[in-house]
Amino acid sequence: MPSGDDAARREALERALDEGWSALESGSALDAVQAAVEVLEDAPDFNAGRGSVLSADGRVEMDAGIATGPDGRAGAVAYVTRVRHPVALARTVMESTPHVLLAGVAAERFAEERDLELMKPSWFVTARERERLARATSRASSSEVGGGTVGAVARDSAGALAAATSTGGTRGQLPGRIGDSPLIGAGTYADADCAISATGDGEAIIRTVAAHEVAALVRHTGLQLAEACEQVLRDRIEPLGGGAGMIALGASGEPAMPFTTPAMHRAWRVGDDPAQIAIANER
């Protein structure tokens, strides 16, 4: 029998897939990845938006990135504490400024100017995450070290690819730490050939520029997307002592979702095939 947490995660993944698919039918790949990620940013069982893990001082600090090919546009935000949907702010940065990444108070001021929804910082903090941070702090328990991301990739009817990633970071992180999700080419990347959103050990993903490394292997070596993802996980991230997972989509529309972390929740739909959902380490 699935646990209560797993049932809630499965329901959230189903809603995210439905919202993303609906946006894809009426709009673009960008619309789809934003819609899917926004659902998960509101789902308290995932590490993004409300329900994010807490930093060492008990606060939620959120990062997000969004990217699209073949035009190479990208936007990102980091260290935001009041924006309900960081992924929406990342897209606004991409579409309304000449910049790629805004951070902190200035990013929140920009969100306010653009009429994006803001919440009190306490709204993002859940009782469960308070308890987990307390256990991690008092016991120095490795079982309470947590992180992860939410992400989405999509290909639309015009063949355009997009990726989006959103996260609350790593439980107990130093205040001000920024992970891989808003760093284009590390945790989020899209070009004409593939779109990738990564999760796992953020520092290892940054150090290997993992998402771009996958795209480079596809472009320059002819590797299939799934093989390229697995090679980066095995040959680049594992030697650093890290575990990671990726959701990736190529120009053919076939997804790849390998992971070396203990678990990775995921959902996907291709064409007219039925939607599929996998929780934890289900294959």
Residue 148 has pLDDT above 90, yes or no: no
Q: What pLDDT was estimated at residue 280?
A: 84
Q: For 80-109, what is the mean pLDDT?
A: 98
Read off the pTM. Answer: 0.95
Q: Are 211 and 195 in contact (CB under 8 A)?
A: no
Mean of per-residue pLDDT scores for the chain: 94
Q: Is 149 a residue of the active site?
A: yes
pLDDT digits (tens, 9 = 90+) for 192-236: 999 999 999 999 999 999 999 999 999 999 999 999 999 999 999
> What CATH topology corresponds to 4-278?
Glutamine Phosphoribosylpyrophosphate, subunit 1, domain 1 (3.60.20)
Taking the chain, what is the end-to-end CA distance rounded to the nearest angstrom?
17
Q: For 92-115, what is the mean pLDDT?
A: 98
pLDDT digits (tens, 9 = 90+) for 260-273: 999 999 999 999 99
pLDDT digits (tens, 9 = 90+) for 31-42: 999 999 999 999
Nearest to 145 by CA among 133, 127, 158: 133
Residue 144 has pLDDT above 80, yes or no: no
Instruction: List all residues 6 or more positions away from 282 whose beta carbon is below 8 Å from its beta carbon.
Output: none
The active-site residue, picked from 68, 81, 92, 149, is 149
Q: In the structure, what pLDDT confidence band is assigned to residue 281 with cuts at 50, 70 and 90?
A: confident
